[in-house]
Structure formats: structure tokens, C-alpha cells
Amino acid sequence: MGTAPTILIIDDEPDNFDVIDTLLDTEGYQLSYVSNGEQALALLKAFQPDVILLDVMMPQMNGIEFCQKFKSHPQWKHIPVIMVTALTAKEDLSKCLALGADDFISKPVNGVELRSRVKSMLRIKKQYDTLQETLRLRENLSEMIVHDLRNPLTTIIMATEILGMAKFSPELLQKKTDAIVRSARQLQSLIDNLLLMAKLESGKMILQRTEVDLFAICYSAISDLEIFAEQKKLKLVVSLPAIGGSVSVDLNLFRRVLDNLLFNAIKFAPYNSEIMLCADYPKPGRARIQVADSGPGVKEELRQKIFEKYEIGTPMKEVSQIGLGLAFCKMTVEAHGGSIKVEKNEPKGAIFTVEI
């Protein structure tokens, strides 16, 4: 459950706070009270409410003066302010709104009106918070994508520069060529994931289903990623069905799901450990794929969350973790009418299971 919305009441009359407290008692809000604008400004340096109920007629600093200062502050101006006022002249109310108030309610306060207006302002605040979180995630994602694009691109540039400097033995030449190919594939994979996810989310991706042999597609995926496993001295344990079976899937998308799961297993598996790939047909026309490793695993409370965009499991140094690969897998599998889940791999690690 989320944290209860917080409301700051600024009023020089304690009895008015008691009235509002009574009228909002059933809503589950957290109410705070200060008796003047100066106290409110001091409090706001350490505490930011979701909505402010502001009395207009106060000594020292009236509500209009407070609102003017409050709304000029870049860190506070997005917080909705409801003026609570005995003023009835349209000029006075217009001045309140012109100085930044988002709404007003007249005294004596009516309970139904108060609750409705507070809920309306809370919706606005929630929309703002959601937008800011989206912008923050987008900024973080951009930084991570730039970082992930830069790494393989740097490898390609350095390898090609070295190759142009001098003659090499066939072995070293092959090593540098392999590094260029691997890095280029990483770039292509990241870009393809971004493009395909955009299509899946927009509903513009149309599945091109064909009958696919599990043995063939799994064997092909293992062969293409074997070079990455060899770098960490990983043993690939494979259990595949006999040649000749089939399942109806989009070959391109389904292969990318396999690639993502296997590449994740390679990334998180410790050196000199094992990765397991199992595939079978539990029923005619159905397929099940399992990929297991002995890495850090996924905490139980994260086993649903890691399939969301930009979410990661256990952060690891020197391991690229954008949080798109598993989100892509989930979108693709569900587009096929299937499911994907992760479980603990005893004694340690994770098992990802795809059923289509």
C-alpha cells in the first residue's frame, strides 16, 4: 500500500483546523498544522505536502503573501494550494488565483465540497508526480543506453585502430576481428530491443507465426552465444527435444527471447560455472523453455518487478543492467499468449521459465 496523502493546513485559528480535521477524518489523510505563513515556509524546507489548505486572512503574513512567495519557489510551485477564505468579492478571489492558488473554498467550509476539491487537487498532484517519475526514468534510461552503446562502440573503434597500425599474427587478427563482431552484435541487439518494444507497446507489432522446431532454434541460439560463454569458461548444459517437433511462434521475436535469457544467464553466471538450457513440448502445439544459472539469483520480492521496464534485480559491478531485456521477453511471450516467470535455482541462481 502507498503512503497516505499529506495535507498541510495553514490557519491562525486552531478551531478551523479542528473543523477540517473532522470533515476529512474518514479520508485517511495525514494532516499537519501551522498557525502562520512564516512557520509554513520554515516547515517546507524539510517537508513537502501533497496539498496545502491556506487561510487568506492571517496576521504577520496573510495567505496571499504566502502564496506569492510559495509559488515563486521552483521546488514548491507544483504543490496545489486551496485557498480557504471568507472573501466573496470576485476581485479578491481573482487575485488569489492570479498569484498561484489552484482552487478556493468559501467559509463556512462544507464537508462534501472540501473533500471533492481536495481529491481533485490530489489527482493533479499525482499526475505531476507520475510525469516527473517518467521523465526521471527516461533520463536515467538515456544515460544507461548511452553508456551501453559507448562500451561496444569503444571496443570496435579501438580494435579497428589497432588493426590499422601494424601487421599481426593470424591468431591475434582473429581475436580482434571476433571482438569487433561481438561488439557489433551487442549494439544491434540493444537497438533491436528498443525498436521491437516500441512496436509491441504501440500495438503495431503483428506476429508472423511459423512452425518452429525447438531443437533447431535452441541449437542455433547456443551456437551463436557460445563464444561469450567461453570467455567466462562456462559449461553449457543442454537438454533439447528430438528433431521434428514444432510450435507456432514468430521466429524472429521468439529467437530474441532466447537470446536475451541466455545472454542474461551468461552475464550473471560466475566464472567456471554452469548454464542450463532445457526445452520440451509439454503438450502438442505447446513449448516450454528453461534457462538456469548459478548467479546471484532474484529476490522473491523482485520476481514480478524485474519484468517491468527499467527494473533490475541485484545490481552487479561491471555488468550492464538497463532493465529492458526481461521486459521485452515478457511483452513478447504474452503477445504469444504465454507466460514467463523466475524461480530460485537451488542452491543459488535463477531459473527462467517460458511457456507458450
Helix or strand (DSSP H, E) at 141: helix 111-163
Confidence of residue 356 (pLDDT cuts 50, 70, 90): very high
- Across all residues in the chain, what is the average pLDDT? 83
Q: Using one digit for the tens of pLDDT, what is the confidence trace for 171-221? A: 777 877 877 877 787 777 677 766 776 777 667 677 889 999 999 999 999
Class of domain 209-355: alpha beta
Confidence of residue 311 (pLDDT cuts 50, 70, 90): low
The DSSP line for 226-266 is: HHHHHHTT-EEEEE-PPTT--EEEEHHHHHHHHHHHHHHHH
Q: Using one digit for the tens of pLDDT, what is the confidence trace for 52-88? A: 998 888 877 888 888 888 888 888 888 999 988 876 6
> Is residue 316 over pLDDT 60?
no
CA–CA distances in Å: residue 275 to residues 12, 75, 235, 258: 68, 49, 6, 13
Rounded to whole angstroms, how far apart are CA atoms 88 and 86? Answer: 6
**What fold does the segment set 137-202 form as a domain?**
Helix Hairpins (1.10.287)
Rounded to whole angstroms, how far apart are CA atoms 57 and 63? Answer: 6
C-alpha 8 chain-centroid distance: 30
- Which are the contacts of 67, defined by CB distance < 8 A and separation ≥ 6? 54, 81, 83, 96, 99, 100, 101
**Strands, sheet with 235-239, edge to edge from the N-terminal-most edge strand:** 235-239, 274-280, 288-293, 350-355, 339-344
For the chain, the maximum distance between any two Cα atoms, rounded to a whole number of angstroms, is 90
Q: At what angle do helices 14-23 and 111-163 cross, to 10 degrees?
A: 80
Q: Establish whether domains 6-109 and 209-355 are of one fold.
A: no
What pLDDT, on a 0 to 100 scale, did the predictor assign at position 230? Answer: 87
Q: Using one digit for the tens of pLDDT, what is the confidence trace for 274-290? A: 999 999 999 999 999 99
Q: Using one digit for the tens of pLDDT, what is the confidence trace for 334-353? A: 889 999 999 988 788 899 99
Residue 103 and residue 54 in contact, taking contact as beta carbons nearer than 8 Å: no
Q: Which CATH superfamily is domain 6-109 in?
A: Response regulator (3.40.50.2300)
Grid coordinates given for 5: 496523502
User: Residue 210 carries which DSSP code?
Assistant: E
> Is residue 321 over pLDDT 60?
no
The DSSP line for 297-353 is: ---GGGTTGGGSTT--SS--TT----S-HHHHHHHHHHHTT-EEEEEE-SSSSEEEE
Please state the domain extents for the chain. 6-109, 137-202, 209-355
What pLDDT, on a 0 to 100 scale, did the predictor assign at position 1? Answer: 44
Rounded to whole angstroms, how far apart are CA atoms 135 and 194? Answer: 17
Q: Which of 247, 329, 238, 333 is nearest to 276 (CA)?
A: 238
Q: Using one digit for the tens of pLDDT, what is the confidence trace for 215-239? A: 999 999 998 888 888 888 999 999 9
CB neighbourhood size of 221 (10 A) = 22
The DSSP line for 291-308 is: EEE-SS---GGGTTGGGS
Terminal Cα distance for the chain, rounded: 33
Helix or strand (DSSP H, E) at 278: strand 274-280
CB neighbourhood size of 189 (10 A) = 16
The DSSP line for 7-59 is: EEEE-S-HHHHHHHHHHTGGGTPEEEEESSHHHHHHHHTT---SEEEEESS-S
> Is residue 297 over pLDDT 60?
yes
Q: Which of 80, 56, 75 is nearest to 5 (CA)?
A: 80
Q: Using one digit for the tens of pLDDT, what is the confidence trace for 116-168? A: 999 999 999 989 888 888 777 666 656 656 656 666 777 787 777 777 776 77
